[in-house]
Amino acid sequence: MKIIFEQETSYGWVRVLDDHNSGIRWLMSSGSTIGAEDLNTGRGLF
């Protein structure tokens, strides 16, 4: 996994992580996953 973006906000840490092994970009807030997209298509996964 590679950290693309990381910043502390009043809501906690916000991070964007690229997982090239699974082909997914993860959007996380503190320890919670709040979004994911396919790295190849940009399509939201949930």
Tell me the pLDDT tens digit for each residue of 7-22.
998 888 999 999 999 9
Alpha helices by DSSP H, 1-46: none
42 pLDDT above the threshold of 90:
yes
31 pLDDT above the threshold of 90:
no
| pLDDT band (50, 70, 90) for residue 5 | very high
Instruction: Name the domain count of the chain.
Output: 1
* Token digits of residue 39: 């790295």
Task: Tell me, yes or no, whether 44 lies in a domain.
Answer: no
Domain with 30, as residue range(s), is 2-38
Residue 34's pLDDT is: 94
Residue 15's pLDDT is: 96
| pLDDT band (50, 70, 90) for residue 46 | confident
Task: Tell me, yes or no, whether 24 lies in a domain.
Answer: yes
Task: Tell me, yes or no, whether 43 lies in a domain.
Answer: no
Q: Write b or e for each residue in 21-33: b if 16 or more Cβ atoms lie within 10 A of its Cβ, otherwise e.
A: eeebbbbbeeeee
